Chains A and B, each alone.
Chain A
Amino acid sequence: MTECSHWVLTQQKPNGWFEGYNLRHRPIYLHFIAYTLQGLLEAASIIGPTQVIEAVQKPAELLLRKFELKKSLSGAYSPEWRPQVLYMCMTGNAQMATVWQRLSQITNDLRFFNAALKMHELLKASLWYRGPYILRGAVKGSFPIWGRYLTFRYPNWAAKFTADSFMIELQLLKTLYSKEMPCES
C-alpha cells in the first residue's frame, strides 16, 4: 500500500497533474482526477501527511480557483488543466467537494470548505425532489444529462459520493459551531 502511494506521488508533474489519470480512449473525467486526490488523502495516514497534502493541495487549489471563477468545473480536463468538455461530471463534482472538505479539516484552510459548500449548492440544484419516485435524490452522471459521462444515467456511486460529501459538511459545520458556542454544543 505504501509503495503504491509513493508510486502515485512520483507520477505528479510540476503543474500538479498526475500522469495516468485516464482510462484508455476516454476523456480524463473529473471523476478520475478526484478519485486520485481522494485516494491519496485517505492514504495520508500511511505515507505521512505532509508529503501527501503538498501533492494534493496543488491540483485541489487549482481546481478550487477554476470553480470559484467559473462557478462550475468541466467534466474533463487536459494535462495542462484546460477544460475539455462543456458538460459537468456530477460524480467528480461530489468527490471534489469531499477532497476540499478533507483538506479543510487537515489544513484548517476554510477556503476549501467554502468551495465545497458552493459545490453542494450546485449538486442540490441538480437533484430531483419531485417527479418519479425512483429518481428522487438521484444524481445525474453528467449535467446536462446528455453529457458523455454515463449519458442519460443516474449512477448509484454519484449519489453515494454526494451523500458522503453532505455528511462531511455536517461534521465540519458542527465542529465550527462548537468552537463558536462551546457551552451550547
Chain B
Amino acid sequence: MRIVVLAANIYSERALATLVALHKAGFTPIACVCLSTLSLSTIVRKLAQYGPKNFVLYVVRRLNMFRGGRHLKQFQDLQFDNPYLEHRLKYHNIAFSDVASACTEYNIHLCYCKDVNSEKVLSFLRKFDIDLIVYAGGGILRNGLIKTPKIGVLNAHGGILPEYRGMNVMEWSLLQGDQIGVTVHFIDSKIDTGQICFVNKVPVSGEDGSITALRNRIVDTTVDALVEAVRMLAKGEMRTKPQAPEEGKQYFTMHEKLLELAELKLNHIVDPLLK
C-alpha cells in the first residue's frame, strides 16, 4: 500500500511517532508532506492554538531543538513534549529528533509546503499514485487533496464521534461527564463528519494526573489506532459506518475557565483510583 503521511510541522512528535509506528508495522510511508515551521499561516495557527504565553514557550522549545541539530541524536539528550511517545521514537539507543531525520533513515520522500492543499503538494502526490493519506496534522484539507488517494484520508480524532467533533473534544467529553476515546475516520469536506472506521474508548487511569498528561496519552492512542486502521485496510477487513451531520455537535477551543473545571473533574475521577 502506498501511504503518505501529513505532518503539521517538522518537529511534530505525533507525525514522527506515526511515521515510525507505520514503519515498524511494515507499512513504511512512501512520502511525507510537512508544513513549513516558519510560514505565517503556521505561526497564526499556533498562536490561536496555544495563546500568546504558551506560543512563546513553544517557540523557545523549538529553537532549543533546532540548536541541537536536526539529525539522529543520543536518546539521553532529547527531551520530548509527550513522554508517552518516547518509546516509539527510540532507535537502537538513539532517537529521532524530527520528521526529516526519520525520513532520511527510512528513505521516505519529504515535501515541505506552506499549504497542504497547494498545487505544489498535489503535483508531488500525483507522482506517487498513492492509495492512502494518513493525517497526522496539517490544517484543514480541501477536496482536491482529499480526492487524491485511491482509498481516502485517514484521521485519528481525539474524541468519540459523531458526538464530539472539532477542537478540545477530550476536554469537552471530560467536562460533560462522557467517556473519552479515539475515533479513526476518513476525512471528508466537513469537520469530522467522514465515514467512521472504529472507536477506541480510553478509560481514565491513575496516571492521568492532569489534562496535559491525559491529552498526551490520547495522542499516543491515536498513533496505535492509525496503525491498526492501516493494517485493517491492508487486510481488507475495514467496515466503515457513515455519520449524519446532525448526529453530533461541533466544539471549539475551550476557554481557560472551563479547562480549569475539566481539570477539577479529572481530579475527582483520578483521586479515588489512586487510593
Point out residues on A near B: beta carbons under 8 Å. 65, 68, 71, 109-111, 113-115, 117-118, 121, 173, 176-177, 180-181
| New contact pairs (12) apart from A114-B254, A121-B255, A180-B268, CB-CB < 8 Å | A65-B250, A71-B48, A109-B249, A110-B172, A110-B175, A110-B176, A111-B249, A117-B255, A118-B255, A173-B257, A177-B261, A180-B261
Are B176 and A114 within 8 A (Cβ)?
A: no
Number of B residues near A (Cβ < 8 Å) is 17
Partner of A113, one of B249, B258, B264, B268: B258
User: In the assembly, what is the distance between CA of A110 and CA of B268, in Å?
Assistant: 20
Name the residue on A nearest B48 (C-beta). A71
Are B268 and A68 within 8 A (Cβ)?
A: no
B265 at interface, CB cutoff 8 A: yes
Are B252 and A180 within 8 A (Cβ)?
A: no
User: In the assembly, what is the distance between CA of A176 and CA of B175, in Å?
Assistant: 10
Residues of B within 8 A of A109 (CB): 249
Are A114 and B261 within 8 A (Cβ)?
A: no
B128 at interface, CB cutoff 8 A: no
Chain B nearest CB, measured from A121 CB (Å): 8
B66 at interface, CB cutoff 8 A: no
**Contacts A/B (CB < 8 Å), 9 sampled:** A71-B48, A114-B258, A115-B252, A117-B255, A117-B258, A173-B257, A177-B261, A177-B264, A181-B264
Residues of B within 8 A of A111 (CB): 249, 251-252
Chain A nearest CB, measured from B50 CB (Å): 15
Contact of A180 with B264 at beta-carbon distance under 8 Å, contacts A68-B252, A114-B252 already known: yes
